[in-house]
Amino acid sequence: MAGTIALVGTLTEALSSVVHPEIPDAVAMLQVRGGLGENQPAEWLRPRFAGELLYSWPYPGESGQLAAPFAARHRALIQAAREFDLIELDVDCDLSPELLAAIPAHRRLISWRGKGRDLAGLRSIFARMSAVRARFYSIVTQGSCTNDGVIPLLLLKELGRNDVIAFCEGAAAFWSRILSPQFGARLLFGQLEQNPVSQSGEPSIRQLMEDYGFPDVHPVRQLYGMVGNRVFQSPSPRLHNAGYRSLGHSALYLPFHVECFEDFWQETIQSAALERLGLSLRGLTIVSPYKEAAAAAAARCSPIAGRAGASNLFLRKNGCWEAHTTDPESIAGIAGNGHRPSKPLHAAVVGCGGAGRAIAAALQQSGAHVTLVNRGHERGELAVKLLSLPFVPLSDFTAGGFSLLVNATPVGRDDDCMPFAIDSLGSSATVVDLAYGARPTPLATGVAARGSSVVDGYDVLVNQVRRQFQMMTGLEMPPDIGRHTATPQTFLQSACERQRIA
């Protein structure tokens, strides 16, 4: 489906005349939640926002609101109906004759929210809702696994209406919210504050715009995605989806938040659950901590993925899933681009997880002398067994003597720690840091301050995404989509501040 939808910006706290989040021009409607702690009258909002205003009261049982008397709730809804363009009415408690008389049909959004039901159960709920005339109807299920998002979308597809919103909330089924416009939903909700996706699965408006291109809706025939338990912090959806839009490729890249890879594989992939929606899942990026579990589930493995015992890229070919790895792209251009350099590199790979092992295998294949480094002995011993390379415990490791050092750990991503000491680092050494986050890592900053060469996590990410994009789609990602697309504003601000201080 192509076209546009209405972005609805949810106020999670009351606006004030002093401080309030920027409201992007693309936002067509503001959702004001009753009981925010201070009054947010429509007359105060209208000079500050040109779109429509939706008034909602917390659902019964939400945030302890069950204790609020229905009489007080109904008085608030009737009062809001005098000021707001659209009023949300709960199908189970807000369809009294008094309320319906006070709120005309064209200003009603009738909603239901509850634990996931089968398709027959959702049909029954919608039949009850649609017996009352309204401008919109909303069905939001609550789920805890990927498959929970399928049923509400099947309902949307079956109904074929443009006045129904249906998806599953929760991090595991976040993808269903993003796909819902493909099946007719014309409203898409997001928080105005730029917070990462919460466990409720609610994104920010900026994320909906930047990662998925809303309010424009582009036709989708193929699905790609990312599987892990930190998928909402990744800029990969932004990069892939920007590439699809630029090339006119009818595809969408979705994050799948997964707590158990084996369950996801069996219930979602092997059961072809997403194919019930008429969409084909063609490729998956696998991120920590599931690279090893993924390699074990594949029908076939590439040579490097097989040696490393880990995969970060799954491709569906001829009905089978193949395991590959693009982690060696982290050192692309450093290890000779597939040709043996005249003088072998002496490389240290710090971190013996799936990424570290794949990079070590690629370096070894290029002719480098590789040393494995890890804090824990168990994972280090596994890497030695798989790769037959020397191993040094992190407690005994010194950086001197190595011309290439790769940090394949998350250390420094969310804290101020260093993955290894750099005081003995040679001036001609190159450091590749796979970690990236909201701010430059201490390792990247420290190495640059010493005058040594550093490749940071965002450069690594973009290199890998470009390769994954090409392997998944057979197309080249447009060159104008790159590091600037992936890097958050907080990173740029922090980097500029550190340069100013230096």
Q: Taking Cα atoms as reference points, which of 140, 179, 138 lies closest to residue 157?
A: 179
Catalytic residue among 115, 157, 291, 343: 291
CA dist 499 to 220, 387, 418, 449, 480, Å?
Answer: 43, 40, 20, 10, 26
**Residue 453: beta bridge partners?**
430
Q: Return d(Cα 95, Cα 110) in angstroms, integer.
A: 9
For residues 175 and 279, is the Cβ–Cβ distance under 8 A?
no
CA dist 31 to 14, 16, 103, 137, Å?
Answer: 11, 15, 17, 15
DSSP summary character for residue 203: -
For residues 69 and 227, is the Cβ–Cβ distance under 8 A?
no
Write the DSSP string, 187-231: EEEEESS-PPP-TT---BHHHHHHHH-TTEE----EEEEEEESSG
For helices 457-473 and 236-247, angle between their N-to-C axes, nearest 10 degrees = 40
Whether 385 is a known active-site residue: answer no
CB atoms within 10 A of CB 500: 7
Q: How many CA atoms lie within 13 A of 163 on its CB side?
A: 14
The catalytic residues are 291
